[in-house]
Amino acid sequence: MKYSIPLFDLNFDEQEEKAAVEVIRSKWISTGPKCEEFELVFSDMLGIKHAMTTSNCTSSLHLAFNVLGLKPDDEVICPSMTFVATVNAIRYVGATPVFADICGPHDLTISPEEIEKRITPKTRAIIVMHYAGYPCDMDSILSIAKKYNLKVIEDACHGPLSEYHGKKLGTLGDIGCFSFFTNKNISTGEGGMIVTNDDDLAKRVRLLRSHGMTAMSYQRSIGHATTYDVIALGYNSRMDDLRAAIGIVQLSKLTDDLMKRQEIRNLYVQLLKDEEGIIIPFTNHQEFTSNYIFPVILTNSTAIKRDAVRELIHGAGIQTSIHYPAVHRFSIYNNPPCSLPFTEYVADNEITLPMYGKLSHDSVRYICDALKNALRNV
């Protein structure tokens, strides 16, 4: 089906095209000066010491667990209400994911109370995911981490420039990870960033993202080194300059795009706030957020009803999605099974409506009318 209103629309124009062409003409397209520039601009925007480009956010998450010293038999407390990569990266280092429930249908972030219930002598870290760009209760989570001497990793894929008590998401824990996948607020097709204020962690990330080599090709090409050693078992987790150049342009557009998304969210909330049968999560949130997606939760509902509502909306030419199927229900993660009542209800009854800066107000009204009509006819 071809949708008249897609879930997401890429915020690209001739600026990204020009940036990519300039890199091609420079004849240096792999990791090099554009990656360094992208890192500097990103770290400055977040107010953090170190930002390091990666091939994708999955690589960022893998590197984060690696440099924090997670190992087999360690346990990491994590949400199930997230994309599976958040949890897969725990397994990459041999550690065990321990799922914790979300706060509820009004707040889809991991619950601090549920985190603390799941701490055991094997627990070494907590990974949070800032759903839709809305922050977890980081004061409580960081307090728990300090109490039990745990590391904190932030999956901030949804939250570039989102704030928590005046600080940017991704800068609050030990390490933050960002995604630049096609449908994210910042898009380079594929790509990621890992950020930290810890000099030692940053040094190790830079080493491991490029095979454990003491000097990369770009450093050797400009005379900073003529040879290299391999001093650790590293990976190929590098970004290239083509994507970094696009990322730099995307960063220049980010604030304006996020302000437009805020307007769109405000209109959605205004049009839907009195609608019976739905909850709009994070309605009372006051701080600046990225509004990566716009989720609604059906009340007194089932997965069958939710899917029927989606089908009617699709019939009106509007694309929707689900964020997310619960990770703990996937075959690879449901042994042993666990019970997460809020996560399971939301996974069965959440609908993600279109959200992007170029979405017109008339389109938002049309989407809201289609949702209301669907709710009345299911």
Query: What is the CATH number for 367?
Result: 3.90.1150.10
Question: Which pair of tokens denotes residue 222?
Answer: 């400009």
Rounded Cα gap, residues 328 and 88, in angstroms = 11
> Is residue 203 domain-shared with residue 275, that is, in the same domain?
no
Same domain, 370 and 229: no
Mean pLDDT computed over 119-145: 98
Q: Which pLDDT score, from 0 to 100, does residue 219 have?
A: 72
Q: Does 192 lie in the same domain as 175?
A: yes
pLDDT of residue 223: 67
Average pLDDT over residues 191-207: 98
Based on the residue annotation, tell me whether 184 is a catalytic residue of this protein. Answer: yes
Same-domain pairing of 282 and 182: no
The confidence score (pLDDT) of residue 220 equals: 63
State pLDDT tens for residues 15-26. 999 999 999 999
Rounded to 10 degrees, the C-alpha dihedral 15/16/19/24 comes to: -140
With respect to residue 199, please indicate whether it lies within any of the assigned structural domains. Answer: yes
- Characterize 175-194 residue by residue with b for buried, 16 or more Cβ atoms within 10 angstroms of its Cβ, and e for exposed: bbbbbbbeebbbbbebbbbb
Domain count, the chain: 2
pLDDT, average across residues 272-277: 96
How many angstroms separate the CA atoms of 365 and 362, rounded?
Answer: 5
Summarize pLDDT for 234-249 with one digit per residue, the tens.
Answer: 999 999 999 999 999 9
What is residue 215's predicted lDDT score, i.e. its pLDDT?
Answer: 80
**211 pLDDT exceeds 80?**
yes
Q: Which residues contact 126 (CB under 8 A, 6 or more apart)?
A: 76, 77, 78, 115, 141, 144, 145, 150, 151, 152, 153
- Average of pLDDT values for 257-275? 98
What's the pLDDT at 336? Answer: 87
Q: What is the mean pLDDT of the chain?
A: 96
pLDDT value at residue 46:
98
Is 218's pLDDT higher than 90? no
State whether 151 and 64 are in the same domain.
Answer: yes
Same domain, 37 and 170: yes
Listed residues 250, 271, 296: the one ending a domain: 250
Residue 7, domain member (yes or no)? no
Q: Please report whether residue 3 resides in a domain.
A: no
Using the 3D structure, point to which of 227, 250, 273 is the last residue of a domain. 250
Q: What is the CA radius of gyration of the chain?
A: 21
Regarding whether 315 and 287 lie in a shared domain, the answer is: yes
Report whether pLDDT(183) > 70.
yes
- Report if residue 337 sits inside a domain: yes
Under the banding of pLDDT at 50, 70 and 90, the label for residue 1 is: confident
CATH number of 64's domain: 3.40.640.10
Q: Determine the structural domain holding residue 267 and report its residue range.
A: 255-376
Same domain, 292 and 246: no
247 CB-near residues (< 8 Å, 6+ apart):
38, 42, 53, 180, 186, 188, 191
Final residue belonging to a domain, choices 208, 235, 250:
250
Element (H, E) at 364: helix 361-376
Q: Are residues 190 and 272 in the same domain?
A: no
Three-class secondary structure of residue 107 per DSSP: strand
**262 lies in the same domain as 245:** no
| Whether 86 and 53 share a structural domain | yes
Torsion sign (Cα): 39, 40, 45, 50: positive
**The one catalytic residue among 27, 122, 184, 273:** 184
Q: Is the pLDDT reported for residue 216 higher than 80?
A: no
Residue 82 lies in a domain: yes
Please tell me the predicted confidence (pLDDT) of residue 318.
98
Residue 5 counted as domain residue = no
Q: Could you tell me if 222 and 239 lie in one domain?
A: yes
Task: Please report whether residue 6 resides in a domain.
Answer: no
In a domain, 222, yes or no: yes
Q: Reply yes or no on whether the pLDDT at 347 is more than 70.
A: yes
